């Protein structure tokens, strides 16, 4: 299977690397060709346009920073839709796989355009952090019909460990923003917990372990708390991306008629943090708001500056949903 990959940012470059490592015929593209150089050195091809890529690939993956960026890559004159249209009726139905964190209504709109030119679509965002994307141990949600899911599964299992068929197109994007919302709420609560522990006289190494072995533990604590305590705050995720994710979650909830209470508070917190420290500041540095308000800092020895996945890469698998 020939796979095209557009968007070689923090996550995309690692996912593309997993495809190469697992033997796929890979063609890549990014606005900045220099970020493709390591992949090209390992054998990836280069496409001069999204249309060129889509015309020759069995699956085209987009992993881009915003819904607007995805729409531009899809709908431009030399975009993916043009490439898919050029091959209509020839060979097996090509697949467009949207791995960006995006709006479910927008991914459904674009999927309808893909189907209109003879393609199939799946939204398949990832969850688990850049360190797990690098090792192929990240989780992937997939929204599409079952036939498309089974065709896409060999590609998805090369990039991720746990693959969940979420339902129809758009369902995966909903679950992605739901889980990112929960991660953000957890991050803010951990910031409050660490600062409070420090000022209440608790050793921060001890506080970390107490949370880790207790009912307060979480994936966010085992990753983001470590880089907070190290001081690097480098989790490869920035304030503006949190703002985007929070707005996407709020839009889903609004369409569903849910009167959110915590979400507006989180939006205010990150709007303030982005205004203070810049939209491209690492998201865990939201803790600085509390550090500055209390005149303290939450730092402790022995924690890493960045997260590295030390689990061995294992073959990906479909996660089967329990139905009782």
Instruction: List 141's β-bridge partners, or say none.
Output: 164
Q: Does 196 share its domain with 125?
A: no
Which CATH number does the domain housing residue 6 bear?
A: 3.40.50.720
Q: Does 88 share its domain with 116?
A: yes
**Model pLDDT, residue 129:** 92
Mean pLDDT (10-residue bins), the chain, 324 residues = 96 97 97 97 98 97 96 98 89 94 96 97 96 95 98 98 98 98 98 98 98 98 98 97 97 97 98 98 98 98 96 93 89
Whole-model pTM? 0.95
CA 90: distance to chain centroid? 33
Q: Does 160 share its domain with 289?
A: no
CA 305: distance to chain centroid? 21
Three-state SS string over the chain comes to CEEEEECCCCCHHHHHHHHHHCCCEEEEECCCHHHHHHHHHCCCEECCCHHHHHHHCCEEEECCCCHHHHHHHHHCCCCHHHHHHHCCCCCCCCEEEECCCCCHHHHHHHHHHHHHCCCEEEECCEECCHHHHHHCCEEEEEECCHHHHHHHHHHHHHHEEEEEEEECCCHHHHHHHHHHHHHHHHHHHHHHHHHHHHHCCCCHHHHHHHHHCCCCCCHHHHHHHHHHHHCCCCCCCEHHHHHHHHHHHHHHHHHHCCCCCHHHHHHHHHHHHHHHHCCCCEHHHHHHHHHHHHCCCCCCCCCCCCCCCCCCCCCCEEECCCCC
**Model pLDDT, residue 88:** 75
Residue span of the structural domain in which 261 resides: 175-294
Neighbours of 48 (CB within 10 A): 9
The answer to whether position 303 is within a domain reads no
Q: Does 233 share its domain with 91?
A: no
The answer to whether position 198 is within a domain reads yes
CA distances from 11 to 7, 103, 129, 268, 301 (A): 9, 18, 8, 27, 28
The answer to whether position 308 is within a domain reads no
Measure the CA–CA gap between 85 and 130, rounded to whole angstroms.
34
The answer to whether position 226 is within a domain reads yes
**Model pLDDT, residue 126:** 97
CA 291: distance to chain centroid? 28
Instruction: List 164's β-bridge partners, or say none.
Output: 141, 319
**Model pLDDT, residue 92:** 87
Do 49 and 17 touch, CB atoms closer than 8 A?
no
Q: Does 105 share its domain with 193?
A: no
Do 211 and 217 touch, CB atoms closer than 8 A?
yes
Which CATH number does the domain housing residue 286 bear?
A: 1.10.1040.10
The answer to whether position 147 is within a domain reads yes
Q: Does 63 share its domain with 155?
A: yes
The answer to whether position 305 is within a domain reads no
Q: Does 86 share its domain with 191?
A: no
CA 74: distance to chain centroid? 19
**Model pLDDT, residue 89:** 73
């Amino acid at each position: 299977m020939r796979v095209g990959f557009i968007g070689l940012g923090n996550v995309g470059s690692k996912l593309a690397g997993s495809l190469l490592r697992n033997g796929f015929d890979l063609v890549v593209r990014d606005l900045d060709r220099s970020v493709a150089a390591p992949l090209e050195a390992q054998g990836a091809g280069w496409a001069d346009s999204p249309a060129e890529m889509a015309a020759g690939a069995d699956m085209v993956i987009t992993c881009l920073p915003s819904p607007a960026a995805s729409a531009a890559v899809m709908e431009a004159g030399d975009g993916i839709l043009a490439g898919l249209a050029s091959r209509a009726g020839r060979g097996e139905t090509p697949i467009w796989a949207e791995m960006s964190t995006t709006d479910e209504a927008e991914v459904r709109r674009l999927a309808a355009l893909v189907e209109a030119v003879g393609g199939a679509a799946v939204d398949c965002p990832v969850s688990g952090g850049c360190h797990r994307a690098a090792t192929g141990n990240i989780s992937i949600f997939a929204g599409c019909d079952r036939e498309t899911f089974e065709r896409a599964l060999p590609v998805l299992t090369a990039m991720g460990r746990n693959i969940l068929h979420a339902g129809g197109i758009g369902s995966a994007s909903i679950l992605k923003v739901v889980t990112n919302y929960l991660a953000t709420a957890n991050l803010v609560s951990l910031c409050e917990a660490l600062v409070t522990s420090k000022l209440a006289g608790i050793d921060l190494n001890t506080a970390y372990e107490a949370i880790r072995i207790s009912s307060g533990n979480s994936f966010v604590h085992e990753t983001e708390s470590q880089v907070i305590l190290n001081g690097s705050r480098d989790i490869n995720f920035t304030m503006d991306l949190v703002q985007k994710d929070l707005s996407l979650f709020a839009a889903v909830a609004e369409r569903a008629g849910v009167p959110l209470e915590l979400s507006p508070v989180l939006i205010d917190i990150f709007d303030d943090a982005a205004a203070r420290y810049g939209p491209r500041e690492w998201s865990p540095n939201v803790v600085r708001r509390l550090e500055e308000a209390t005149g303290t800092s939450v730092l402790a020895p022995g924690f890493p500056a960045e997260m590295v996945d030390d689990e061995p890469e294992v073959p990906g698998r479909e996660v089967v949903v329990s139905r009782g």
